[in-house]
Amino acid sequence: MQQEEQRIDGHTRVCGLIGNPVEHTMSPIIHNTLAKKEGRNLIYVPFHVENGRVGEAVKGAFALNVLGLNVTVPYKSEVLEHLDGMDGMAEKIGAVNTLVRTDKGYKGYNTDVTGLYRAMCSEGIRLEGEEILILGAGGAARAAAFLCASKGAKKVYILNRTAEKAGGVAEEVNRAFRTECVRAMRMGDYKNLGTGRKYLAIQATSVGLYPDKEKAVIMEREFYEMIHTGFDLIYKPFRTKFMSMVQEAGGQAFHGLKMLLYQGIEAYELWNGIAVPEEDALALYRTLLEYMGI
């Protein structure tokens, strides 16, 4: 593809991110690098939206002819009432992270789910027929649970400090897919799963996020001996305590930077009606690594 300098003129299309906070986002690197690579007249900027004003932000963005928006915490569910429709998976999950402009407003999508799947596939991780442990029951864990169920996981155990919250997620996922494969457990109840089986584990809590890089939500080595593959949705630090403990127990471990990459690419593809070649995705991944000093 021809590579040109980005320009801003009367034809420039604007995309962006709404959330609170947004000051440390890496998303502009993804979208502006892709636009520059393609020679596309598009610019991506973060918008800090104060609490209680997300509806105004969406309405104002539409009035200003903004092509599309990403949505980050704390607005992924709050934004729903201000949309002109939702993709089927986003509707099941009850959360969106990508808004695509239509004639009447914005349609919501959840590229966290599709981005996570694409990231895992790129690392050779399969979900079909797997027994999976998900740590946490927040928004990221919900997205992971919906993904696992939709791709035919054999069993999904949601481990959380409070079993009630995990139970709510399990019930939602089971109802959405008419299955009983998702089960809620307290964090320490992994010991009841027995020995002899190996699991895929998805770390979906904020424990271990920089600067608390020496923390993991579970610290017992016996837990990590149950894991053949660990996928941490955190990408900073580049090697989390969870990842280290998986590897020390003999498993393979991956971090969440490719999830960030692919959820962004999927949003870019939706806004522009294109498919980003995999070689461009991998080049962009190297750019993100360089930005992080790795």
AA identity, residue 280 = D
**Domains of the chain, residue spans:** 13-109+258-291, 114-255
* Nearest-10 crossing angle of helices 27-38, 257-272: 50
What is 13-109+258-291's CATH number? 3.40.50.10860
Whether 198 is catalytic is no
Intrachain domains 13-109+258-291 and 114-255 with the same fold: yes
**Tokens 């992994």 sit on residue:** 190
DSSP H or E segment with residue 44: strand 42-48
What's this model's pTM, rounded to 2 decimal places?
Answer: 0.93
User: What is the per-residue pLDDT for 61?
Assistant: 98
Which pLDDT score, from 0 to 100, does residue 1 have? 42
CB 120 within 8 A of CB 147: no
- CB 34 within 8 Å of CB 65: no
**Class for domain 114-255, per CATH?**
alpha beta
Tokens standing for 86?
A: 């939702």
pLDDT value at residue 92: 93
Sign of the Cα pseudo-torsion (141, 146, 151, 152, in order): positive
Which among 37, 76, 107, 258 is annotated as catalytic?
76
Note the pLDDT tens digit of each residue in 154-212.
999 999 999 999 999 999 999 999 999 999 999 999 999 977 899 999 999 999 998 88
Report the pLDDT value the prediction gives residue 3, as an integer from 0 to 100.
45
Which parts of the chain sit beneath pLDDT 50? 1-3
